[in-house]
Structure 1
Amino acid sequence: MLAFVVRRIAVSIPILLISSFIVFILASLSGNPLSGLLTRNPPPSPETIALEAHRLRLDLPLMERYWLWLTGLFTGDFGPSVQSNLDVGAEVWHRFGVTIRLILVAMVVAVLLAVVIGVISAVKQYSKTDYTATFLGFLFLAMPAFWLAILLKQWGVDFNNAVDEQVIYTIGATSVPPPEGFWAQVGDIAGHMVLPTISLALISYAAWSRYQRASMLEVMNSDYVRLARAKGLSRRRVMVKHALRNALIPLTTVTALDLASIIGGAVVTETVFQWRGMGDLLLNAIRTDDVYVTMAWLLVTATVVILFNLIADLLYAVLDPRIRYA
């Protein structure tokens, strides 16, 4: 098992380096960080423009800028922002903490829903339960992320107006000012996460439940499951220990591959609910041509995607011991 983990980590490192290079090239060619300065009226002096270009390292060759940026990452230096007083690293990690809790909770909820509904649909194939689950799955799959988020937000506003009290939070990741006390703050954060989590989880679970259903049907018709039934094992043990464990492998793959789309959905969801997370950071960086903030965002998300795929590889070995000895 240890050798399996080491091999997977060894493969992930060069992928991350290649990702960092692609991120740097794309972000560097996407815009001019001096555009905000050049469009001012009255225009700044050439000396001011030259100093700003030097601060942003625009007077250096492209590969030298990449090397400075890459080596600076090991010390926590994500490069200079167009906002001279902004610490890119500190801002990214603060915003990342806001976004990652939404993504993780939404993924857990979506996976649980997908497994439960997928298994029930497979066990009760062609029943009313199966048809209902299929209809709901396709319904949520067809819904745009922003539209579902807007519907949930409007429902929360209408509900609060109906009861004349703030019961459901519809704006922000936390209250302003935050409540005093640790548990009060935890409850406040959880309350603000309800609607964004539901929005993100429903969009994700819809496709995953169909994969889980198909995988479960395939496993239930396999020889080893029929052998387990013939040996007299209980239906529960056959389903959980023999069928479900192997049926989770395709879902693990799909979940890891869909992480990038979930991050994209989180950007939309955060915009609708006015969260100051990674989504808001990215959109502001694009508006202001803040290249180093954009690169930091892309690098962090690329790292998360690679990390989740690494975790998926390790889960394969846990779900199917034959993989670790391959």
Structure 2
Amino acid sequence: MNLLKAGRVLRRTLWQAIPTVISVVILNFCLLQLVPGDAADVIAAESGAATAETMAQLRSHFGLDLPVLHQLAGYLNNLAHFSLGTSPRYNLPVTTLIGARLGNTLLLMLAALGTALAVGILLGSVMASRVGRWPDRLLSVLALLLYSTPGFWLGLMAIVLFSVHLGWLPTGGSESIGAGYTGWASVADTARHLVLPALAMSGFYIAIFARLTRASMLEVSRQDFVRTAEAKGLHPLTVTVHHVLRNALIPVSTVAGMHFGTLLGGAVVVETVFSWPGLGRLAFESVMARDYTVLLGILLLSSLLVIVANMLVDLLHAWLDPRIQLR
């Protein structure tokens, strides 16, 4: 793949992203306006008591008493100036709150997606090469179990087994509180806290990628170019890796890009179970606090991440199969 093709992908993605992002922003804003309650109600409830005058002052301070169209215009004006507004709950810029959590969520998502792809493709390759035999049947049952097991239940059972009974891994959080690790010790500590939430989030996707890899490899193995490679006397491992598996990865990468948004949504449950300080947990806290300004910022960022993920998938397709023309 040359730079010209990459430039075409970037230009096409940007032109498609602009109306998509604008539509997502307006739709999310309108939907959240239909939800009963606001940040003033939550703040008043936490204070124990509030008069009608106090509630009116709170809503006036946060701009919640303005007409919906005026609130939407103000929010779009903030976005035009690269600002996501200020959180009524934390009294901090939304970009500051999201920036403090974004790294943890990306780390968790990339670890879960990488684990799901590596394990799923490996299991699918074994299933395809041993189709109809006991490894294929055993791994198919395992994939079915992972597919039907909720992520939060898998996470809770992992905590019971590896943290409570065996004591190998921490139960939650992203680092050991008060340990003061630096350098590689800090990296190792974060990795230990990352293992269980990444495994819990990746279980469902391991099953999907394994089954899809198996089906794709079986379909590709029937193609003429594979029989030609075998007729040339190439080693079976070379045929499997360079000819069958490489072409079978195209539908797998497509599904991975499609599930990137689902993976981000699943982070809400997993981060809550493991007390992982990421965007999913921040979104949950924002919903409970009716802090819709923060929630809108998280939804907007999620949309941008999905767009970037699909752009990377297009680039990966062009690298896996040079015959694919990107326009």
TM-score between the two structures when normalised by the length of structure 1: 0.91
* Number of corresponding residues: 320
> Which stretch of the first structure deviates more once superposed, 234-243 or 130-139?
234-243
Structure 2 portions without partners, runs of 5+: none
The letter of the residue matching 1:81 is S
Equivalent position of 1:79 in the other structure: 85
Are 1:300 and 2:307 matched, yes or no? no
Equivalent position of 2:102 in the other structure: 96
Equivalent position of 2:284 in the other structure: 283
1:325 to partner: Cα distance: 5.2
Are 1:27 and 2:28 matched, yes or no? no
Q: Contact 2:43–2:89 at 8 Å: present in 1 too?
A: no
The letter of the residue matching 1:216 is M
Equivalent position of 1:218 in the other structure: 219
Structure 1 portions without partners, runs of 5+: 162-166
Are 1:317 and 2:318 matched, yes or no? yes
The letter of the residue matching 2:162 is G
1:231 to partner: Cα distance: 2.7
Pick one of 114, 119, 122 that aligns with 2:120.
114
Are 1:126 and 2:104 matched, yes or no? no
Equivalent position of 2:10 in the other structure: 5
Q: Contact 1:228–1:238 at 8 Å: present in 2 too?
A: yes
Q: Contact 2:268–2:280 at 8 Å: present in 1 too?
A: yes
Alpha carbon RMSD of aligned pairs, Å? Answer: 2.0
Equivalent position of 1:164 in the other structure: none
- Structure 1 residues 41 and 189, CA gap change in structure 2 (3 angstroms): closer
Question: Which runs of structure 2 are paired with 1:159-308 in the superposition (5 Å)?
Answer: 159-160=165-166, 167-308=168-309
Post-superposition CA distance 1:87-136 (Å, at most 9, x none): 32111121121111011011001101111111111111111111111011
1:32 to partner: Cα distance: 2.7
The letter of the residue matching 2:28 is V
1:45 to partner: Cα distance: 4.4
CA distance in 2, matches of 1:296, 1:76: 11
CA distance in 2, matches of 1:3, 1:24: 32
Equivalent position of 1:43 in the other structure: 50
Q: Contact 2:9–2:314 at 8 Å: present in 1 too?
A: no
CA distance in 2, matches of 1:315, 1:64: 43
Post-superposition CA distance 1:184-225 (Å, at most 9, x none): 111111110111111112221111110110011000011121
CA distance in 2, matches of 1:5, 1:85: 37
Post-superposition CA distance 1:41-66 (Å, at most 9, x none): 542342x3333223322233333322
Equivalent position of 2:59 in the other structure: 53
Q: Contact 1:56–1:81 at 8 Å: present in 2 too?
A: no
> Which stretch of the first structure deviates more once superposed, 208-217 or 169-178?
169-178
